[in-house]
Structure 1
């Protein structure tokens, strides 16, 4: 490098100034995160997981002037789902495969980088990671290979690294038997679906790190004919596949396990309900299931129930709220008679002890993959003339469920925000098209809640699926094999951004149809805006009162991650990860893009 070039580089670095430094974050600061307008220090901005920013400089009137301010390239082009965190001018980003970076939030300049080296190549659920957490001078990340890692907040150096489940194995409990990758009936090769991992952001509270595992709702994932997307169908085969999921708390200082809640337990058969708790009829033969139950006493040991998000926390009561995934084996119910508690449920626990408080099962004996996958939000709502502390959850079923936070009693469910047809229909040999399909009305995408206007905003989709029951006849000494397939339709899909009026008992205030299914989540702001992204790369702002699109920017890769808003030096910014999603067929990349108003 010539002397003049060195001088130019040195001058530029001087102008940029030293890297930002974030103060250590304690419990008091975490509990007051809702009052900290400038920062985003929890996965949902506050413990209530509302994803609502009180910043309002970027507003209905100014949003048309929004421009990119800087772009940070992670260097990894893969399914990108992170929620960035911002504390005191430093942004903390998790990349696919559980890498972690600290970045100057003013400039996008990297401060430090942690490269995670997975202990196994058998990833249960792909490379995606949904974010880190901050607390006690550390950054905590749960990894694709089911580890929990504590990093020094200032340097990124590993403080401790523990296995979330030392007893876990890489494979299912038993072999698949007669189902082979070359079988023409299955239309493709089997890919993945073994092992356990973790992709949610951990929750930091009271000296504990709370996190759950994924990958236990066993199903065979088949290759797709759609370019760039491996998920063409999910195949379920009855048998002793999978294992129980769990949510656990670990000591923040040492990584030692403090408590564990298994999502399936002995007695998970429940009441053999023939209707859901909200009155929908289920295609079940309860008498036959009860008769079969003695032959499947151990089915809970293979029961599934993944955890796909960080819990929401009520700091007044110390209760946490989280959703549980589908039972195992997926789609096939013969080997798991009963309701399969606590799968496909919203659950409340005591955060300090892991004590069970209540659960509400959205889909007993789930055959459709209706995980409770999107994180719940906490807010107050008026019902029957009284104010109730409530928890709301945007379901795969197409309804937004609102419960009494103390008891779990259903206060109301919204009008459908996505089309529903043949809901809870049993699979047939010819195939029945069900909507919502396995992708859901809302998948894992977080909702946003404006507590002042009492509006919830959901990023949803219409993506039906064909459900079939099929048989491979007995041959060559091998027994007959019955299996079930769930295949998403390839045409007629679209996205839905909807506003749900909580003060009106869940009426749909407005609904905006978008070209592609929405995967990634919503951000609402006091500027009267709702932000969300699309798989084609558009990142857009909508009027929170009407749903009108006010601004859009194409990021060059799918925007399939939740946006955030923060402020540095008194200026408001909006940030989002643009890296697409392989499983949904959206173009991949590895950028975090930060937008702001012109100087």
Structure 2
């Protein structure tokens, strides 16, 4: 519902779910804070949590209470008006369970008097929303099967002396969504790869290495009963049969892939069990069409990452937008953006639902901002490809294969649009995307294994020394054209918020938190935090006052200063009517 400037039609306006609503539009119908008074926006309260680490969470606000998931899966409940702590949950993480991708958690779900969240050690937990007391705790992933690759490289190998700072471990990064008494969530980290450090502290993650072999496991998305955590259904992102697909070399959106289909088909008999190690993490919180009980989510890369020797075929349903029945988990359709992925083009940014007009016909649509640099639009019911936008980041050698001498590609494994959620203003027919330009070099290595007569092939992706930057884009989704762009010094990661008063909020890695005119892209206001602002902002209303809140804790993978702040802003009291 829209409200007039300075007038609240309800006492409170919540932000109750990760994407605000089931469609995931992240567009707040609030107008008290607007273009005319944004320059007066000031810090209402600030909370330092005491946990300084990569902070990616979306705060949820329900009935005047803010719920925030901290790094390492601690949870805070705060008075949304004052920031006063109401309760805190401290998570006891399993010490024997390797983390996939650092300590960050992207958010919670709050419903039925409970707070739900997934953990870095692959558990789904329910807390009492009033007290923070644990109600139930289940192991989602079963036994850990992603054991680390311990191959000793030859002394001559350039990666021999580099430090491994991370690898593959099964966990949960996404915020769950609750729909019709079901908590829906998926696992991550199943696409096997080793993470190598970067000696530059201000650089993103160094090399990611994909090693030939039987490493990894299939991913899944599953639904659990809100009362007791009992699993109701599970959809495996890798089909046990037919994962090779049709050996696709061209997709409906016009992308072409130069694959050696003859060699891939010959390798099928050598790797008959490849699907059992297939990858396909579930990274993004689903969007849900409540009219048809259909959910949409994106899947991750195949396993092993970038190295395709042991996984011939299309590697379904990796790097795909997938539609399921919410009540049964039954497959409806999928669209694979990148068959047989060699670049790490996970569908990381959450899907979003909106109405799309084509040839005068209004079509219920689902869109997704990709790592490849396009915003894809599909018919929500059939999955048919409808359109894709102009590229919102520079593109070079897209879908060109890795090579021994190194192939520079952009966007690469970082994107494009990474996990940052978009915002859609349906009335303006615009989608707003936070993305980045970060060139990546993909190199194929053939190396002897220390103390062995055998050799090993692996592929590494690593950032180049080229300049990197961020791009905030407004795209008219009826035409696919870019309405405006704003370039930032650092890659943009974290997500955006828009409001019906014509404002857009987005943070940067240097701690800048900006408000823009969503129509023109003009910067109207900014606040300087001590830590990177690399999480999605939210807006809500309590007792007739509108607030804007965002967490500020940086991001270690991008070299952005880590911290522990929750920042909440509002207008001075005299300007609130």
What TM-score comes out, normalization by structure 2 length?
Answer: 0.95
Contact 2:128-2:135 at 8 Å conserved across structures: yes
Residue 450 (structure 1) aligns with:
425
In 1, Cα distance between equivalents of 2:160 and 2:450: 17
In 2, Cα distance between equivalents of 1:531 and 1:596: 13
What TM-score comes out, normalization by structure 1 length?
Answer: 0.92
Q: CA deviation at 1:179?
A: 3.8
Contact 1:220-1:235 at 8 Å conserved across structures: yes
Q: Which of 513, 529, 534 in structure 2 is aligned with 1:555?
A: 529
- Once the two structures are superposed, residues 275-297 of structure 1 have per-residue CA deviations (whole angstroms, 9 ceiling, x without a partner) of 23322221210111011111111
Which secondary structure does the structure 2 equivalent of 1:296 belong to? coil
Q: Decide whether aligned partners of structure 1 residues 178 and 186 sit closer, same or farther in structure 2, where only a CA change above 3 A counts.
A: closer
Q: Which of 194, 212, 215 in structure 1 is aligned with 2:189?
A: 215
Residue 375 (structure 2) aligns with:
400
In 1, Cα distance between equivalents of 2:221 and 2:410: 30
In 2, Cα distance between equivalents of 1:61 and 1:368: 45
In 2, Cα distance between equivalents of 1:185 and 1:558: 30
In 2, Cα distance between equivalents of 1:230 and 1:536: 14
Q: Which of 252, 277, 288 in structure 1 is aligned with 2:226?
A: 252
Q: CA deviation at 1:502?
A: 1.3
Flag structure 1 segments of 5+ consecutive residues without an equivalent: 1-34
Aligned pair 1:157/2:124, yes or no? no
Q: CA deviation at 1:463?
A: 0.5
Residue 595 (structure 1) aligns with:
569
Q: Which of 484, 491, 494 in structure 2 is aligned with 1:510?
A: 484
Contact 1:349-1:356 at 8 Å conserved across structures: yes
Aligned pair 1:109/2:74, yes or no? no
Q: Which of 321, 331, 336 in structure 2 is aligned with 1:361?
A: 336
In 1, Cα distance between equivalents of 2:100 and 2:408: 27
Aligned pair 1:242/2:255, yes or no? no
Aligned pair 1:519/2:500, yes or no? no
Residue 205 (structure 2) aligns with:
231
In 1, Cα distance between equivalents of 2:124 and 2:415: 29
Q: Decide whether aligned partners of structure 1 residues 88 and 278 sit closer, same or farther in structure 2, where only a CA change above 3 A counts.
A: same
Aligned pair 1:565/2:539, yes or no? yes
Which secondary structure does the structure 1 equivalent of 2:131 belong to? coil
Matches within 5 A, 1:163-174: 163-169=139-145, 171-172=147-148
Q: CA deviation at 1:455?
A: 0.4
Aligned pair 1:538/2:538, yes or no? no
Q: CA deviation at 1:60?
A: 1.2
Residue 142 (structure 1) aligns with:
118
Aligned pair 1:194/2:168, yes or no? yes
Aligned pair 1:472/2:447, yes or no? yes
Q: CA deviation at 1:170?
A: 5.7
Contact 1:275-1:282 at 8 Å conserved across structures: yes
Flag structure 2 segments of 5+ consecutive residues without an equivalent: 1-9
Q: Which of 579, 582, 585 in structure 1 is aligned with 2:559?
A: 585
Which secondary structure does the structure 2 equivalent of 1:64 belong to? helix
Q: Decide whether aligned partners of structure 1 residues 142 and 117 sit closer, same or farther in structure 2, where only a CA change above 3 A counts.
A: same
Aligned pair 1:128/2:104, yes or no? yes
Q: CA deviation at 1:236?
A: 1.1
Q: CA deviation at 1:186?
A: 4.3
Residue 287 (structure 2) aligns with:
312
CA RMSD of aligned residues (A): 1.6
Q: Which of 393, 411, 414 in structure 2 is aligned with 1:418?
A: 393
Matches within 5 A, 1:1-80: 38-80=13-55
Q: CA deviation at 1:474?
A: 6.4
* Large movers: runs of 4+ above 3 Å: 175-187, 473-477
Contact 1:69-1:594 at 8 Å conserved across structures: yes
Q: Decide whether aligned partners of structure 1 residues 37 and 471 sit closer, same or farther in structure 2, where only a CA change above 3 A counts.
A: farther
Q: CA deviation at 1:238?
A: 1.1
Q: CA deviation at 1:195?
A: 2.0
In 2, Cα distance between equivalents of 1:261 and 1:167: 18
Q: Which of 550, 554, 557 in structure 2 is aligned with 1:576?
A: 550
100-109 or 189-198, which deviates more: 189-198
Which secondary structure does the structure 1 equivalent of 2:263 belong to? helix
Q: CA deviation at 1:73?
A: 1.4
Q: Decide whether aligned partners of structure 1 residues 171 and 477 sit closer, same or farther in structure 2, where only a CA change above 3 A counts.
A: closer
In 2, Cα distance between equivalents of 1:308 and 1:400: 17
Q: CA deviation at 1:38?
A: 1.0
159-168 or 327-336, which deviates more: 159-168
Residue 268 (structure 1) aligns with:
243
How many equivalent pairs are there?
562
